[in-house]
Copies of this chain bind each other. A is one copy, B any other.
Amino acid sequence: MDPSEVDVPPLKDLTIDNITDNVKLINSQCPDPRLKYLLERLVQHVHDFARETRLSHNEWLAAIQFLTAVGQICTDVRQEFILLSDILGLSLLVDSIDHPKPADSTEGTVLGPFHTHDAHSEPNGTQIAHDPDGEPCLVLCTIKDRSGKPVSDVKIDIWETDSKGKYDVQYEGREQPDQRAVMHSDEEGKFWFKAIVPVPYPIPHDGPVGKLLKLLKRHCYRPSHMHFMFEKEGFDHLITALYLRGDPYETSDAVFGVKESLLIDLGTVNAEQAKTYGVKEGTKTIVYDFVLVSEEDSRKLREAKAMAAMKHLGLRMKLYNGLPVPEID
């Protein structure tokens, strides 16, 4: 940008006490009110953090090096910044803010860093996991709206690890997706597939996030779970997962994802189901009824909660594209 086009306030002799206001002032020329508000809050919190901790140059440099390492280990199939957000509880917090759920609908949870966009679209009944060491598991689900009406033609992304606790993308030389699929609910809102019983696994801990967990004396395990993502026009995007009750890490998920309402007990296939779905009697089952919220209900709830939270914080705000910005600019 040609500096002559930019009108900047005079900035000189900045100190611990006046730099925050001055940085906010120079950023305040941002024409987008939402980005301006985000930066205003970001600068305040980053500066307050440094002031409250009396952050040393060496600590600052260690943070710079840590963040650089986090960025540099990222690849097409590894997202260490999402992992960092996950272990700091930020991912779950953002999902809770952005996708508030009425009590009668399925709760959301963390996306995690292992969703991919290359899963094959498969018909109901497909065997989506091919690990011969995995314990077979029949998954039988329905999708309804809040009135109890089945929702058909929902796009469902499903992904889980193999029996060793690794996602396909964690293996070198991965040629095609495994333990993942895209399915669609049928006319009765049903979808079903054959997978394997989920197992607990460590999040990737050979990188900077793993080092941080070790310094914090935290373990890096996630309890057994299977991921689900639901998309259909008119409905709020739902990112969630089902967790096996009684898992050793049920109450200490490294990424804070477990919710009581998402815990399930494994069942077993009875004689009739064995016939219907073409699996052995006694095979493990996961049975769950998902309830989606309409986009409209979700938007209303999100906006009402946002404005209530702003009021609670004593901030005078208005909504701009559904997100809060200061009422008086």
Contact = CB atoms under 8 A, between A and B. Distances in A.
A59 B85 CA distance: 13
A251 B49 contact: no
A79 B60 CA distance: 13
Interface string A27-58: 10111100101110111011111111111110
A13 interface: yes
Interface string A1-37: 1110010111111111001101100110111100101
Interface centre among A91, A94, A219 (most CB of B within 10 A): A94
Interface centre among A26, A55, A217 (most CB of B within 10 A): A217
Nearest to A55: B94
A259 interface: yes
A8 B41 contact: no
A45 B55 CA distance: 14
Interface stretch (A70-78, A168-176, A267-275): A70-78
B19 A89 contact: yes
A167 interface: no
A260 B12 contact: yes
Given A19-B93, A60-B90, A256-B14, A218 B8 contact: yes
Nearest to A58: B98
B64 A16 contact: no
B252 A11 contact: yes
A94 B47 CA distance: 9
A11 B68 contact: no
A279 interface: no
B46 A97 contact: no
Given A88-B23, A215-B30, A323-B54, A68 B94 contact: no
A64 B84 CA distance: 10
Nearest to A69: B71
Contacts of A67: 67, 70-71, 81
Contacts of A20: 89, 93
Interface string A132-160: 00000000000000000000000000000
23 contacts: A1-B214, A1-B220, A3-B219, A8-B252, A12-B259, A12-B260, A16-B97, A19-B93, A22-B256, A23-B256, A27-B218, A29-B218, A38-B55, A42-B49, A45-B48, A54-B98, A54-B305, A54-B310, A56-B97, A56-B98, A56-B323, A57-B99, A67-B71
Given A12-B259, A27-B218, 7 more contacts: A8-B218, A9-B252, A19-B256, A23-B256, A51-B313, A56-B97, A67-B71
